[in-house]
Amino acid sequence: MNVNFKKTKEMIINTSHCNFLDKLSVADVEIERVNVFKLLGVHINQSVKWDDHVSAICNKAASRIYFLKQLKRSSVGFDDLYHFYTTVIRPILEYACGALSGIAV
């Protein structure tokens, strides 16, 4: 497997927020150090808290709830509104909730 080091990220999992380590470089390419990254749709931060993920999910769901409100204003039937909710909004809210509930905060 070939690794693209330009797309590779480094994150130091540490609750004390100390960045005392030197930057990582492989094959003369400096690896970017990040505080938050998205892995399989889940935002993970260096202090292993869910704040960034919950914020991203709330923003994404809020924009889709706006469309639900617009559909309701245009007199779309209840069944169609329910179908829109269950196929467009609810999966966003439920994605990775098993992982969220399995970790003590």
Residue 12 pLDDT class (50, 70, 90 cuts): confident
Indicate the average pLDDT of the chain.
83
Find out whether 34 and 11 touch, Cβ atoms under 8 Å.
yes
- The 10s digit of each residue's pLDDT in 70-96 is 999 999 999 999 999 999 999 998 887
pLDDT value for 18: 61
Q: Two tokens at 37?
A: 């990254």
* H or E element, residue 24: none
Sole residue written with tokens 């439920």: 94
- The 10s digit of each residue's pLDDT in 27-72 is 778 888 888 888 888 888 888 788 888 899 999 999 999 999 999 9
Q: How far apart are CA 80 and CA 37, in angstroms?
A: 36
